[in-house]
């Protein structure tokens, strides 16, 4: 039981970092926050993504390209240009690394206005941090896994950020229904997206890229939107353009 609980908690905390901090704040600036809260969520992203911490700059640049070139050859991770999900994941990883190491210099319009904290980022991206988080996951399983099959979940913890991104990029541009026709392949995969915290409303999100609510119809529920509303209400964030 502790292992399953750990998996669920890790899944949702890491996913929250990705959708709230890296995606909605870092890449889209759907809301603003003070430098204090930006640092708080930087650290939150490090601790929750742990061994698979994603760099906000590389994330923002790649994601803005994805919006600008959705499902064309210039889209860094459209599922329609890859044989299978693994090939897409591999290429996405290569592109991400090339951005992090500055082997690729993106268009200037994508490469600005994202959260930066060099000292923390160096720490979060160091091998020592990644290995220590990995070791912590193994230790947790060592002490709490009571059945052999529970160990099958362990790799999810190592790569949790990229796994969540890959599900969204693959399923969200392949499976589901559309509300808007913007000429790309973006889909809304679930009616109530508790699994990927609203990220699977890709079709709505591509249509209203600046809107912090990913649900568009009354029956589409994005679980992160109420959280953003509460954070807006208590003054942690300030929504720039609300639904
Ligand atoms: Zn998309
Ligand atoms: Zn987006």
pLDDT band at 79 (very low <50, low <70, confident <90, very high): very high
Give distance in angstroms: CA of 148 to centre of ligand 1. 37
CA dihedral (19, 151, 137, 120) in degrees, to 10, reads -40
pLDDT band at 1 (very low <50, low <70, confident <90, very high): confident
Query: What residues flank ion ligand 1 with Cβ within 5 A?
Result: 202
Summarised one tens digit per residue, pLDDT across range 180-203 is 999 999 999 998 999 999 999 999
Residue 243 has pLDDT above 80, yes or no: no
Percent of the chain, pLDDT > 70? 99
Dist. CA 161–CA 17, nearest whole Å: 9
Could you tell me the two tokens for 55? 């760099």
Find, among 5, 13, 59, 26, the residue nearest to 227 by Cα: 13
**What mean pLDDT comes out for the span 52-73?**
97
- Sign of the Cα torsion 105, 201, 52, 235 reads positive
Give distance in angstroms: CA of 172 to centre of ligand 1. 6
Do the beta carbons of residue 78 and residue 185 sit within 8 Å? yes
- Please provide the average confidence, as pLDDT, over all residues in the chain: 96
Dist. CA 204–CA 209, nearest whole Å: 8
* Helices and strands (DSSP H and E) totals, the chain: 10, 2
**Separation in Å, CA 5 to CA 71, 162, 176, 189, 218:** 36, 21, 29, 25, 31
Distance of CA 21 to the CA centre of its chain: 8
pLDDT band at 242 (very low <50, low <70, confident <90, very high): low
Give distance in angstroms: CA of 28 to centre of ligand 2. 7
Q: For the chain, which residues make up each domain, given as ranges?
A: 2-70+109-177+225-239
**What mean pLDDT comes out for the span 5-21?**
98
Residue 208 has pLDDT above 90, yes or no: yes
**What mean pLDDT comes out for the span 17-35?**
97
**What mean pLDDT comes out for the span 74-88?**
95
* Residue ranges with strand state E in 26-89: 31-33
**What mean pLDDT comes out for the span 5-27?**
98
pLDDT value of position 119? 96
Give distance in angstroms: CA of 191 to centre of ligand 1. 17
**Separation in Å, CA 145 to CA 5, 6, 12:** 11, 11, 20
Residues 6+ apart with CB under 8 A from 40: none
Find, among 30, 43, 10, the residue nearest to 211 by Cα: 30
Dist. CA 141–CA 155, nearest whole Å: 11
Residue 42 has pLDDT above 60, yes or no: yes
């Amino acid at each position: 039981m502790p292992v399953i609980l750990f998996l669920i908690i890790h899944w949702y905390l890491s996913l929250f970092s990705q959708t709230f901090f890296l995606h909605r704040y870092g890449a889209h600036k759907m809301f603003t926050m003070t430098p204090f809260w930006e640092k708080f969520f930087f650290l939150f992203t490090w601790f929750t993504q742990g061994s698979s911490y994603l760099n906000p700059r590389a994330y923002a640049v790649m994601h803005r390209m994805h919006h600008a070139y959705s499902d064309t050859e210039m889209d860094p991770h459209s599922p329609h240009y890859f044989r299978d999900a693994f090939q897409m994941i591999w290429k996405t990883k290569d592109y991400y690394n090339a951005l992090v190491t500055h082997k690729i210099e993106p268009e200037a319009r994508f490469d600005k206005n994202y959260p930066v904290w060099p000292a923390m980022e160096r720490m979060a991206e160091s091998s020592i941090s990644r290995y220590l988080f990995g070791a912590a996951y193994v230790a947790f399983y060592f002490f709490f896994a009571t059945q052999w099959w529970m160990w099958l979940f362990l790799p999810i913890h190592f790569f949790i950020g990229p796994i969540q991104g890959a599900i969204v990029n693959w399923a969200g541009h392949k499976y589901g229904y559309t509300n808007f026709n913007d000429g790309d392949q973006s889909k809304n995969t679930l009616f109530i997206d508790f699994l990927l915290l609203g990220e699977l409303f890709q079709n709505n999100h591509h249509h209203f890229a600046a809107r912090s609510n990913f649900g568009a119809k009354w029956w589409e529920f994005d679980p992160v939107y109420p959280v953003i509303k509460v954070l807006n209400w208590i003054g942690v964030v300030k929504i720039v353009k609300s639904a």
